[in-house]
Amino acid sequence: MLFHCGRFRLNFDQPQVMGIVNVTPDSFSDGGQFQQVDAAVHHALTLIEQGAAVLDIGGESTRPNATPVSLTEELQRVVPVIEALVARDIPVPISIDTYKPAVMQAAIAAGASIVNDVRGLQEPGALEVVAKSDAGVCIMHMQGMPQTMQLDPHYEDVVAEVKLFLQTQRDMCLAAGIAQDRIMLDPGFGFGKTRAHNIALAKALPEFSELGCPLLVGLSRKSVLGQMTGNDVDARLHASVAAAVISAMQGAHLLRVHDVKATVEALKVVAALK
């Protein structure tokens, strides 16, 4: 299974790892924008060394409960990081984690190859930005909006509803001229889902494969793992690796994770033993 994104091709015959690069203001330093960019670039290069096949650059606008980030602020955070990484001619594609069409556009112009959209290209203009580029896209499912989605998530049938959403957005992409091999799908763990919803979705990954696109899974350090282990976010490494391993065995193609080294090693064992 080959995924096309810009000038890159990702081979998903074996599950791959997407490393998370957050570009957020450092509250402990007043070094300003240069230090912020420098820290993100340094972290990104480390994740490549550790075996990340994709880097996901985010300016925090998609985070649940995050204070909304203005368009200007988000552009100022992510674009310089993408430019710096592209200038270094890194060997992996850059994904931009945003729902804002203007950020997608600027990121692609700066050299990003994948749009990772937690709103699944529902923002007016988002579909057009991706369609007129050669970027790949990840369509994620979310119920509600980040500020309120965890208050009272409700589904009649979570698997059927998420699957229908992903199928509908995939068909919308196909109709807009985005080829099937540029589309990835993601059930959106933790985005308007209870613990039971997340578990039902994890068990249903083989069903989502029927949609014919690679599957991205993001469970790394999420609160559902905190519910299962009782651990705070900074002590969820082992739970995250377990979640990545079982997701890969259930058919996930790309694991979006913070802890790249541990996950890459675990997936090598999965590939050898499964």
- Quick one: which of 48, 97, 133, 198 contacts ligand 7PM (CB under 6 A)? 97
State the nearest-atom distance from the C-beta of 69 to ligand 7PM, in Å: 13
- Quick one: which of 137, 140, 178, 201 contacts ligand 7PM (CB under 6 A)? 140
Residue 132 falls in the annotated catalytic set: no
User: Applying CB under 6 A, does 216 fall inside the site for ligand 7PM?
Assistant: yes
User: Applying CB under 6 A, does 244 fall inside the site for ligand 7PM?
Assistant: no
- Quick one: which of 36, 99, 186, 264 contacts ligand 7PM (CB under 6 A)? 186
Residue 222 falls in the annotated catalytic set: yes
State the nearest-atom distance from the C-beta of 64 to ligand 7PM, in Å: 5
* Tokens at 205, concatenated: 């990954």
State the number of binding residues for ligand 7PM (CB under 6 A).
18
Catalytic hit among 221, 222, 236, 268: 222
When CB distances to ligand 7PM are compared, the closest residue is 218
Element (H or E) spanning 139, and its range?
strand 136-140
User: Applying CB under 6 A, does 64 fall inside the site for ligand 7PM?
Assistant: yes
User: Applying CB under 6 A, does 138 fall inside the site for ligand 7PM?
Assistant: yes
Instruction: Give the Cα separation of 152 and 172 in Å (integer).
Output: 29
User: Applying CB under 6 A, does 136 fall inside the site for ligand 7PM?
Assistant: no
Closer to ligand 7PM by Cβ: residue 190 or 214 = 190
Instruction: Give the Cα separation of 167 and 161 in Å (integer).
Output: 10
State the nearest-atom distance from the C-beta of 97 to ligand 7PM, in Å: 5
* Long-range CB contact pairs, 105-112, < 8 A, 24+: 105/129, 106/75, 106/79, 107/57, 107/78, 107/79, 107/82, 108/133, 108/135, 110/79, 110/82, 110/83, 110/86, 111/82, 111/83, 111/85, 111/86, 112/6, 112/57, 112/82
User: Applying CB under 6 A, does 93 fall inside the site for ligand 7PM?
Assistant: no
Closer to ligand 7PM by Cβ: residue 243 or 273 = 243
State the nearest-atom distance from the C-beta of 128 to ligand 7PM, in Å: 20
Three-state helix/strand/coil letters over 214-261: CEEECCCCCHHHHHHHCCCHHHCHHHHHHHHHHHHHCCCCEEEECCHH
| Residues 6+ away with beta carbon under 8 Å from 196 | none
Catalytic hit among 256, 261, 268, 274: 256
Task: Count how many Cα atoms sit within 13 Å of the Cα of residue 166 in the half-sphere of its side chain.
Answer: 31
User: Applying CB under 6 A, does 197 fall inside the site for ligand 7PM?
Assistant: no
DSSP codes joined into one string, 109-136: HHT--EEEETTTT-STTHHHHHHTS--E
Q: Is the dihedral of CA 78, 192, 18, 265 positive or negative?
A: positive
- Quick one: which of 40, 118, 162, 185 contacts ligand 7PM (CB under 6 A)? 118
Residues in touch with ligand 7PM (CB under 6 A): 20, 62-64, 97, 116, 118, 138, 140, 186, 188-190, 216, 218, 220, 222, 256
Q: Would you please indicate which residues are annotated as catalytic (active-site) residues?
A: 222, 256
